[in-house]
Amino acid sequence: MSRHGVKKMSGLLALFDDVAAIAKVAAASIDDVVGQAAKAGAKAAGAVIDDAAVTPKYVHGFAASRELPIVGRIALGSLRNKLLFLLPIGLALSAFAPWAIAPILALGGMYLCFEGGEKVWHWLTGQAGHDDGNDTFDDPAHLEESKVAGAIKTDFILSAEIMTISLAAIPDAGFWIEAATLALVGIGITVLVYGSVAIIVKADDLGLLMARRGRLSLTRWLGCRIVRVMPGFLSALMVVGTAAMLWVGGSIVLHGVGELGWEAPAHLVHDWANVVSNLAPERFVPTLNWSATAGMDAIFGFALGLVILGVWGPVRRMLAH
């Protein structure tokens, strides 16, 4: 091979080396984004569970043929909330006002405590919630528009909390990594939540179909069980969502006030969790410690929610009149 050909070949190999190096960096960046998105999404678990628990009520009372289209419209609205509004706002805060993230996160935690405390209070007292009123629209299309708009509005609040929690959980890694991570969190959580909601709202229809048309007795029996179990499952999901709201909300507020200098409440929860966990055999200590901490965070969240409810309730009634 000529000297010129050798130079061309070596240049081509060097180019391949550069491309391979860039590919490795890109792959590492993708791994970082995926890993950070998974961790950030896990931090927002309480709000995610509540989002999945709240949404099925918005399709209640509609024809079965409209359930999935309604869920789809809410899901698109949720994506729009996260990607077009909350993502740019979150990145702007991270770049220009990072000091504002902690207060916003604390306010979001207080909102979760309020929502969870209000639900528990209404369950205990038998009162109707502020969003449990009866819709009086005669036109089904108008009713659907109202329900979808209400669901997207509620989703915006929960999505804001999810994105803020996720943003706070992402380490400083550059603008584009943060943007890609938040976008992946937003898309992934939306698919997870509304995919789960779609399965939940159609499960009873599937069970009914299996019970009526199943060729095997086992299929018919399973269909009957699905139909019977779904009401209880939805109730249990609401309880789990409310507990998760109180746990996450209480934990966020305790952590926030600790960062502001008042660390006594968080230390108290930590000390009590240690006392409880030390009562168990050593192999159960980590699990019991986590459970005790989460439980006391939820109790704190419930107490704080009742305080906020006591203040906001009269104010809301005054504004309504």
3-class DSSP state for residue 97?
coil
Ramachandran angles phi, psi of 154, nearest 5°: -65, -40
> How far, rounded to the nearest angstrom, does the alpha carbon of residue 108 sit from its chain's CA centroid?
12
Q: What pLDDT shows up at residue 85? A: 92
pLDDT of residue 72: 92
At residue 6, the pLDDT reads 45
- Quote the pLDDT of residue 103: 82
User: What is the mean pLDDT for each group of 10 consecutive residues in the chain (321 residues)?
Assistant: 49 44 41 50 59 72 83 93 91 86 82 88 76 56 86 81 77 77 85 88 88 87 91 83 84 83 85 84 83 90 93 79 65
CA terminus-to-terminus distance, the chain = 92
Rounded to whole angstroms, the Cα distance separating 68 from 48 reads 20
d(CA 262, CA 256): 9
How many residues would you count in the chain? 321
**pLDDT computed for residue 28 by the predictor:** 43
pTM score: 0.71
> Tokens for 58?
């918005």
